[in-house]
Structure 1
Amino acid sequence: MIDALRERFAAAEITFSAGCAVEGDDRSGFAAAVADAEDADVAVIVVGDSAGLFGRGTVGEGNDVSSLDLPGVQRDLVTAIAATGTPVVMVVLSGRPYALDWALDGPDAVGAVVQAFFPGEEGGRALARILAGDVSPSGRLPVSLPRSAGTQPYSYLHPLLGGPSEITTADSTPLRPFGFGLSYTSFQYTDLCVPATAAPAGELGVSVTVTNTGKRAATDVVQLYAHTPYRSTTRPVAQLIGFERVTLEP
């Protein structure tokens, strides 16, 4: 990631501090990382997982966890750097979704969070281009971001009693739902047209007008969800039945 940022921002002065390891409780690198952040215009903090098998690493086969907090002292590092007042972009390279309510919605929320999962060997360059604004992000979450470990397992395909209800005090509403994603522009949906009837086992045509209401070209992912109000078996409250990527000029 650091190499990709230096390549993309060749004219900028970029400093690097390890801060802490993925695992463990060593905070000896905090001071240097905080000092670098205090002198910077923006701090990009990369957190997440170390892939491995059977206890080697933090995610992968045989690496089960009882908590959905970031491994080690990574959260403490982010909090310390955010306390400097320097704008923070937190990039999450992980093999599982973590409970990031403190970073997204809490009083100590950072400026931006990029959930990249494990993006592959060219992921660093792709992320650098997104952070630079060369391209507008258009990815959508393939899973829901959990609010806490206590409300798991959770799926957007849950039946009625699998969501928020009066039978539990635990809030199972995801922090960010399946299909969520932001863009550097805005889109407006109008003229939704859904036929009133459809033949059994037949096709149903649905249309909507999508307008780029922002100031730059970008790609949106139009998603179509459906539910079955009358059924003989339990069905999800919503199910993705179609999607389409559309690239639009302002």
Structure 2
Amino acid sequence: MFHAMKKHGTARRLALLTAATTGAVLLTTGPAAAHVEVEADNAQALAENVKLTFVAESESADAGITELRVVLPKGIASADVAYDKGPEGWKFTARDDGYVIKGPAVKAGEDAEHSVVVKQLPDAKELAFKTLQTYSDGRIDRWIELAEPSGDGHGNEAPVLELKAAAPGAKPASPSPSETQPASPSPTPTETEPESSPAAQAEAKEDDGGLSTGAWIGIGAAVLIVAGGAAYAVRRRAGAQQ
């Protein structure tokens, strides 16, 4: 009987050990937990001068993070984002669809954190910031998937910032002067051109049958000379007949 109880206890311990081992294997083979997170000091729609802080968790024990490319959501222009701080030596560059921050690799296994200041958050319920995370060995983690309405994720979801409703009376900030100032009107052309201009001379030439004013004066003088000569000849002939 003693041997039977001992055997039963051993089997029970083996069963517990097997279950624990299986659970550990399942946990280690599941999807990676690392991702990018975003938070704000004032996560509210239409809030102004809001600081956003991003934390990119490392998924590599051998390579450090060297670059983060963030695609801004609709309603936030890259011109309205100012760099605050980030890893030592990293530089900020604005792009048409967002911005890039990069520099010397952070220590392998360590997270990369940076922050930016947004002029104004849009009037929305949530904002997704698609992010590409690059490592010193060339590896790229693409945190760009959007969560399904059912709540099911894809494992590479983009960081999302949930916003509170806008404060009463809050309005979109006025556009910058450069956006509202109308373009300088083009100079108004003069209604008439100076008579001395080539165009005026050409126009006068066309109106006078293709001859210039000087030509017409010469013709007039020639006509007068011919007429005068004819009159003189007529008078002389009349005198000779008398």
Query: If the TM-score is normalised by the length of the shorter chain, which range does it land in?
Result: under 0.3
Instruction: Tell me which structure has the larger Cα radius of gyration.
Output: 2
The normalised TM-score by structure 2 is 0.21
The normalised TM-score by structure 1 is 0.20
Greater fraction strand: 2
Greater fraction helix: 2
